[in-house]
Amino acid sequence: MQFVEEIVVDEFLPTVRSLLAGELRDRGLTQSEVADVLGISQSAVSKYAHGDVTTNERIADDERVEALVSELADGLAAGDVTPVQALIEIEVLVRDLESGGDLLAQLHEEAVPELADHGASFRVHDPENDLRTSERVLSSLRRGLRILENAGGFATLIPAVGSNLVACTPDADDVDDVAGVPGRIFDVKGQATVPSDPEFGVSEHVASVLLAAREHGANASAAINIRYDPDLLAELTEQGHVTAEFDESSDVASSVGAAIEDEPEATVLYQTGGMGIEPLIYVLGSDAESVADAVRSLL
């Protein structure tokens, strides 16, 4: 009898630690610093460096593992990602890879062939429970924020009221189901400043626009607001986005809903302002990373 957790501990964890240790060393961290970041001993780091730890090539070669290790190494080396945040993101990936038919599930079935013949849908951990769903949203949001922070010139797109990148759970129906940056993202002397880690229930305005769009049929789970400029709108249109205008001086939910009903494929909403209302563009997307990438393409 072998549990999938044993595969995680015996094969996945050593492989990911080995990859991370190597990537961190490549980024200039000392053996002692790598040990501190990964929460392991220096002797363990040395073993990883010299290939004395058995790793699983299928795990190491998985594109999702490679991408996450590279991203976390960048963040950990720069101090933009804490070890706890890295742990959460790796945990989310583990649960995704445990899903029926995915990599860890395959390795488990190969280790215990009887599982493949099990008639019921097999899933040791339910990746759809509320906690894991929320962590996936926050993980996506942190990645999106890093994209924006590392995008030179993003500060020029931040409106006077500040920007916020938000993302929601699949069944979101109010602002408590939408995560964003507490206090918004502001331009501080030409530098985009994210004041703290994303949380749920902290965005009222951008979250309301996203929820209203979703309620009226928009296929979006994330959004950001940037300053309004006709040239930016034209660039987004040229990139294939469908735009729709709404009137923010009236009820936002109704106005956004009407705009989406007129343009069901809209991925960019905008309003041109009014008395005491700053004109803004809202970019919608399937997740925080795709929204951040769309904004980065404007720079």
State whether 107 and 145 are in the same domain: no
State whether 109 and 154 are in the same domain: no
State whether 165 and 77 are in the same domain: no
> pTM, whole model, 2 decimals?
0.67
| Cβ proximity of 12 and 94 under 8 Å | yes
Q: What is the largest CA-CA distance in the chain?
A: 69
Residue 68 lies in a domain: yes
The CATH number covering residue 136 comes to: 3.40.225.10
Residue 123 lies in a domain: no
State whether 109 and 136 are in the same domain: no
Structure tokens, 253: 């939910």
Residue 256 lies in a domain: yes
State whether 143 and 38 are in the same domain: no
State whether 86 and 151 are in the same domain: no
State whether 65 and 207 are in the same domain: no
Among candidate residues 82, 115, 148, the one where a domain is terminated: 115
Buried b (16+ CB within 10 A) or exposed e, 25-41: beeebebebbbebbeee
pLDDT of residue 133: 78
pLDDT of residue 100: 59
State whether 194 and 266 are in the same domain: yes
Among candidate residues 53, 87, 115, the one where a domain is terminated: 115
Residue 124 lies in a domain: no
pLDDT of residue 24: 93
Residue 184 lies in a domain: yes
Among residues 225, 156, 165, 145, the alpha carbon closest in space to that of 187 is found at 156
Q: Give CA 285 to chain center in angstroms.
A: 12
State whether 206 and 267 are in the same domain: yes
Q: Any idea what the Cα angle at residue 131 is, between residues 61 and 170, rounded to 5°? A: 85
State whether 205 and 96 are in the same domain: no
State whether 108 and 159 are in the same domain: no
pLDDT of residue 202: 94
Among candidate residues 115, 140, 157, the one where a domain is terminated: 115
Residue 120 lies in a domain: no
Residue 140 lies in a domain: yes
Domain that residue 137 falls in = 130-297
Kindly state the helix (H) or strand (E) to which residue 193 belongs, with its residue range: strand 191-193
pLDDT of residue 122: 43
pLDDT of residue 235: 96
State whether 91 and 216 are in the same domain: no
Buried b (16+ CB within 10 A) or exposed e, 68-97: bbebbbbbbbeeebeeebbebbbebbbbbb
Which residues of the chain register pLDDT less than 70?
Answer: 1-2, 100-101, 114-132
Q: How many domains does the chain have?
A: 2
Residue 212 lies in a domain: yes
pLDDT in tens, 107-156: 877 777 766 555 444 444 444 556 667 878 988 999 999 999 988 899 99
